[in-house]
Homo-oligomer: A and B are copies of this chain.
Amino acid sequence: MDDNMLQPHTEPSYVERLRRQGVRVTPQRLIVLEALAAHSGHITADEILRWAALRYPAINLATIYRTLEMLISIGLVAQSDFGSGISYFELVGEAPHHHLVCEHCHAVLEVDDKALQPLHESILHGYGFATNSRHLALFGCCQACLAALEQSVR
């Protein structure tokens, strides 16, 4: 199959990175990567399926899960479970960041890892535990819901 036809928007580096890992470059894998790239943030397996099916209707959910598993194992993708029982996937980018998950409206904000540097250090020193700087999830209540809650109290 013609690579150029199917991955016009894919960073060529991904193809190389797959090859370098000794795994085969297939249209399905490129499409999963494109789906991840298109949704700069987090995306579920099912969302990848629906997005991919637009251009490659025959693609199968099992293939997507297997592809994601492979991409995670080679460090190209990070998986986060926001406590919902549903896994979210995203490309591992240059800048590590984390997620603030609102327990009320389920919105997900991203936090730059720099903001958590003091946390990493205090936990490393206090507990000898090296927190992962790639995909933490912090739960709480976002600004909008905080405001709404305050309103209802009055």
**Which of A's residues lie within 8 Å of B, judged by CB?**
80-81, 83-85, 87, 100, 102-103, 109, 111, 115-116, 118-119, 122-123, 126-132, 135-143, 146
- Chain B residues, CB < 8 A from A141: 129-130, 132
Q: So how many copies of this chain end up in the complex?
A: 2
Give the top 4 A-B pairs by smallest Cβ distance, nearest first: A128-B143, A131-B140, A81-B83, A132-B140
In the complex, chain B residues whose CB is within 8 Å of the CB of A115: 122-123, 126
Task: Please tell me if the beta carbons of B109 and A118 are within 8 angstroms of each other in the complex.
Answer: no
**A118→B116 CA distance, assembly (Å):** 9
Q: Which residues of B contact A84 (CB under 8 A)?
A: 81
Provide the bound-state CA to CA distance between A137 and B138, in Å: 7
Residues of B within 8 A of A132 (CB): 103, 138-141
Q: How far is the CA of A142 from the CA of B123 in the complex (A)?
A: 11
Chain B nearest CB: distance from A65 CB in Å?
A: 13
Contacts of A135 in B (CB 8 A): 139
Ordered by A's residue number, 13 sampled pairs between the chains whose C-beta atoms are within 8 Å are A81-B81, A100-B127, A103-B132, A111-B127, A115-B126, A118-B119, A123-B140, A127-B143, A128-B142, A129-B142, A130-B146, A131-B139, A132-B138
Do A131 and B85 have beta carbons less than 8 Å apart?
no
A103 surroundings in chain B (CB, below 8 A): 132
Q: Which residue of B lies closest to A80 (CB)?
A: B83
